[in-house]
Structure formats: structure tokens, C-alpha cells
Amino acid sequence: MKRLTFFLIIFQCFVIAQTEYVEVVNPVYSFLERMETLHLIEGYNSFLLPKTRNNISEFLKQIIPKGNELNEIDKEYLDDFKTEFEYEILGTLKNSSSIIAKSRNYFADETQRYLYFINSPGKANLFINLLAEGKFLFTNDRELKNSYSATAGIIGGEIRGTLLNKFGFKLRGTNGALFGNKQAGYIINSLRNNYKFNEKPEEKFFDETEGYLTADFDLINFKIGRDKILAGYGETKSLISNNSPMFDYVSMNINYDVFNFSYFHGKLLGKYKYLNDRITGGEAFVEEKYIAFHRLGFNLNKHADFGFGEIVVYGGRPVDFSYLNPFNFYKSAEHSNRDRDNSILFFDFNNNSIKSIKLSGLLLVDDISFSKIGSGWWGNKTLINIGLLFSQPLSSLPLDIRLEYIKIDPYVFSHRLYKNNYTNFGIGLSEPLQPNSSLISAAIEYRFSNKLKVKTGASYSVHGANPISSSGIVTNVGGDALLGHRSFDAEQVKFLSGVKEYFRNIEATLVYEPMNELFFILFAEYINHSLQQKIKRELNSILSFIVKI
């Protein structure tokens, strides 16, 4: 350990920085959050993901000298991450292998495998992988007593690298096909809104791509591209989640001492319509729509931080320079723009003063009039999200427990103008919770080893839905993000008014990684939804294998 610590000190002086971002699904994020809760790292904040490889490696460097404080399983995780981020930590690639270069240790369990890589220190490096994924899907409709099954195959590739220690890039593309019943394919969330897959009823093919360019100047980082963004604490991302399709954006992040600032401006998809034409074959029209986000955060001390920020959704016109400017008060700019947009204010906090316990919270204010608080006025729209993480309550027990509560007032995320609602192609940017809802959830993760873990969770949600009939909506009680308050709707609303719908979900995930970059994942869920027009009871399961070559 002393020798490794010595090498870390030496290499920190000239390690080559990698400016690419680490995907939001990488297990290193849950590991770092656990280390934060156990007081083994300082300055880590999980509110906004993804983070750069260089940023991740800085936190791993904090943990390595404290390895004797970890339990045996977390020591194994740390060894895995020291291999995965070896280049960022030590500036070497001794534990990496290439199949094209015919590395003799390519199939060793501890090796970080690539199809090919090349490295010229200080100039450029390049890492190339092939991707393959198979999914076996099964769904059983307990009400209709119908079962559907299908198999999905996905192949693709990924190329990433850094130039001159400052400029990074990544390109990832996949193509897939579904064999079997298409209904089973919709268990995969990304296929529900995949354009290619839903273009025709008989279509079985789908594709997805992401990529970006970055410029990293230590304290400030710039990015333009397309990949997944998550915003919010805990399992349930109240601001931006995996629920909606990916979108393109430009971003900037500043980190200096106790101060951090995050910004992005992205392009969303608005209302869609298709006009048939016998000559051209028809044309699709999508309304222009954009989102701007910025957040100012402060680390009060090594165990607490807070932040506040703004989000604006606007559409029907070209990019607005008022929101392209990161350093602007968006609410005031919206007023200057003649109040045509949807601005949202939020406050968040994170505290882990008590070792092994992390408390986080979010208050979102979609709109508010202080003089009307308590009156039931529809325009007072807030969201509250409170989360607790108990990480390894017994140091020798590799167990994490999460508890969360969310309350969403009527009309939150909606807007009187459809183009300004908080959706992307009609799908909520946050978790799939409608306004006028509450949610209680719990999750437990147990790690048998660094190669095998099980996670189970349950949630219970109540939604006040807008009453509907055969002719449409009977009453608008603020229960639909796609329908804002209209001039003839009631001025007073009551939380959870309307038709109460109940959502009960139980799910379990088993992840097994027999060798590095080869995963077997078994996911199963049981859903029992009491909706105003039907009862939905389904048992869904997905068996996946994922390999990166």
C-alpha cells in the first residue's frame, strides 16, 4: 500500500487527463456515492451525471490510500475500478489488452479489454470496442391471461479518445432487431419511443446513437453532443431521468474550490404531426422546442452541500440567446421575453454528517404566488423529493437501503401552451410520474461479491387523474403533464382530487459479471395498476447478456 501511495503522488504530477464522460449506467457512480456516505471521499456530488473520466479518477485517488478501511467486497470493487481507470490514475495501460494486437492476457478476468487501442502520451489516444447484447423478453398479462415473448439482438461499436490532453470525443452506435412478438419488445423502455421501431407496425429493427466533443481546461469544461443526462438525487430522478429520449445539447461545467456551476441548453421534440401527400409520400412536422438548465452549487463542508438553479422550456421559435447565455436569471429573462415560456426554479441539498447515512432533498417550484399559499390556487405548483440512503449500516455487511418520498402538486410540469410543457416528444423528462401524484419507494441492494449483486425494490404511487369519458376529459384537475390549466378550468384545486389511480410495482435485478466487460442481468417486475378505465397486472422479465470486446 505504501508503494502504491508513493506512485500515486509521483504520477499525479503528469498523468494524462481523459476528457470523455463515463456513462450514467456505470457502477462506479453507486460506488462513489457509497464512499461519500462512508466519509471516504470529499467533494463528490451525484446530483448531475455523467462526469468525466478525469473527474471520476480524482475521487478514486482519494479512496486508494484508505483501502484498509473498506470491507473485502469494496476492496474488490476498487481493484476493478483501478483497472478500468488505470490510465487516468497512473498514466499506464499495463492492465489493458487488445484483441487486434493479440495480447496474450486478453481473456484474463482482470484485464480491461479493447478491440484496439493506441496511445501517444501528451498527443492523442484512441480506444475502440465492439458491443454485443442479447435480450430474452417475456411478459404475462395477468388480466387478459396472455403471454408474449421475444428475443432482441443488438450489435454496435464505440470509439473514444483524447487529443492534446484537452479535447475529447466519443461516438457510439448500435443496431438491433427483435425476433418474436413486438408487444414483448416494449418491456425495453427505449423501444417505446424509438422512431425506427415504431415507424411501421411490422417494423422489427431499431437503432440508437450518441456522441460528443469535449474541451476540458481543468476548472472549466465544455461539451457539445448527445448522450444521457440524469439530474436529481436518489433512484428516482425528479428533474431529468432515463424516462425520455436522449437529446442533443451544449453544456458547460465549472468546478473551483467549494463552488460549482453546471449549464446545458438542449433541443427537445415538440408536438408531432404527419401530413399525407400523394406526390411526395407525406411529410412529418415536429414543433421546435428547447430546454435550458443551470445550477449553482456550494460545498458547505465535507459532509454537506446545497444548490439552486433554474430550468426553462420554450418552443415555437429559434434558439433564444436569453437562454443560450449560461449567466442569466432565466425567470427575469422570461419576463423580458413577454412571459411566453415555462420557467422552473429548484433548490436541492445533500447531507451525510452521520456516517453511513445520507439525506438528500429537492424542492421544485414550477410557479408560486406567496399571497395565495394555502388557498388551493392551481398556480401554486411545487414538487418535493426527500431521500434517505443507509449505506452499510454494519461495516462488514455489503448492504445499501434507500427510502424515497415524492409529492407532485397538480399542474406541475404542464403549461397552458403545449409547446412549453416539461416533456420531450410528449414523454416526461422526469421519472414517469404525472402531476397530482405521490410516491413512496424502498430499495435494497446486497453485494455477494464484486461480481454478483442483487437489488430489489418496491414502490406505491397514488395519482389524481383527470376524469374522462367516451367524449374526452370531463374535468381538468391538473393530473396530466400534457394538459395545462385552461381559462375555464377551476381556480382552486385539491391535491389528489379527480379519479384516484394506484400504482404498485415490485422489481428485482440480479447482475453477474463472470469476467470484466461481460454481464448477465436478470430483471423481473410485477406491476399492479388500478387505473380509472382498467386494471393492469403484468409480470415482465428480461434476461440480458452484454459484452464489450
pLDDT of residue 105: 65
Tell whether the torsion through CA atoms of 332, 333, 336 and 338 is positive or negative: negative
Q: Which residues pair with 382 in a beta bridge?
A: 365
Please report where in the chains the cell 461495516 appears, as a residue: 395
pLDDT of residue 9: 45
Q: Is residue 2 pLDDT above 50, yes or no? A: no
Q: Work out the percent of the chain whose per-residue pLDDT is above 70.
A: 95
Average pLDDT estimate for 55-80: 94
Average pLDDT estimate for 73-84: 94
pLDDT of residue 5: 47
pLDDT of residue 368: 83
252-269 burial, b at 16+ Cβ within 10 Å, e below that, comes to bbebeeeebbbbbbbebb
Query: 60 by DSSP, 3-state: which?
Result: helix
pLDDT of residue 3: 46
Q: How many CA atoms lie within 13 A of 486 on its CB side?
A: 10
Whether 213 contacts 171, CB under 8 Å: no
- Measured CA to CA, the distance from residue 98 to residue 446 in angstroms comes to 33
pLDDT of residue 104: 56
Average pLDDT estimate for 392-400: 86
pLDDT tier, 8 (very low <50, low <70, confident <90, very high otherwise):
very low
- Quote the mean pLDDT of the chain: 91
pLDDT tier, 208 (very low <50, low <70, confident <90, very high otherwise):
very high
User: What ranges do the domains of the chain cover?
Assistant: 1-92
- Measured CA to CA, the distance from residue 63 to residue 307 in angstroms comes to 25
pLDDT of residue 107: 63
- Measured CA to CA, the distance from residue 474 to residue 498 in angstroms comes to 10
Whether 516 contacts 501, CB under 8 Å: no
State pLDDT tens for residues 126-151.
Answer: 999 999 999 999 999 988 889 999 99
222-246 burial, b at 16+ Cβ within 10 Å, e below that, comes to bbebbbbbbbbbbbbbbbbbbbbbb
Average pLDDT estimate for 14-25: 80
Report residue 412 as a C-alpha cell: 406541475
State pLDDT tens for residues 407-460.
Answer: 999 999 999 999 999 999 999 999 888 999 999 999 999 999 999 999 999 999
Query: 227 by DSSP, 3-state: which?
Result: strand
pLDDT of residue 6: 45
- Measured CA to CA, the distance from residue 331 to residue 345 in angstroms comes to 8
Between the two ends of the chain, the Cα-to-Cα distance in Å is: 31
What are the angstrom distances between the C-alpha of 185 and each of 143, 305, 508? Answer: 19, 41, 19
Report residue 546 as a C-alpha cell: 452484454
Tell whether the torsion through CA atoms of 449, 451, 454 and 455 is positive or negative: positive
pLDDT of residue 7: 43
- Measured CA to CA, the distance from residue 400 to residue 392 in angstroms comes to 6
Q: Is residue 108 pLDDT above 80, yes or no? A: no
The DSSP-derived string for 111-150 is -EEESEEEEETTTEEEEEEEEEEEEEEEEEETTTTEEEEE
Q: Is residue 18 pLDDT above 70, yes or no? A: yes
Average pLDDT estimate for 61-86: 94
Report residue 287 as a C-alpha cell: 414543433
Best CA proximity match to 251, nearest among 26, 422, 32, 48: 48
What pTM value is reported for the model?
A: 0.92
Best CA proximity match to 297, nearest among 312, 308, 286: 308
What are the angstrom distances between the C-alpha of 518 and each of 18, 111, 473, 545? Answer: 24, 12, 49, 7
Whether 477 contacts 376, CB under 8 Å: no
Whether 517 contacts 494, CB under 8 Å: no
Q: Is residue 11 pLDDT above 50, yes or no? A: no
The H or E element spanning position 370 is none
Q: How many CA atoms lie within 13 A of 317 on its CB side?
A: 11
Q: Is residue 152 pLDDT above 70, yes or no? A: yes
- Measured CA to CA, the distance from residue 98 to residue 117 in angstroms comes to 7
Q: Is residue 76 pLDDT above 90, yes or no? A: yes
pLDDT of residue 517: 85
pLDDT of residue 281: 77
State pLDDT tens for residues 240-298.
Answer: 998 888 999 999 999 988 899 999 999 999 998 888 877 887 888 889 999 999 999 99
pLDDT of residue 1: 44
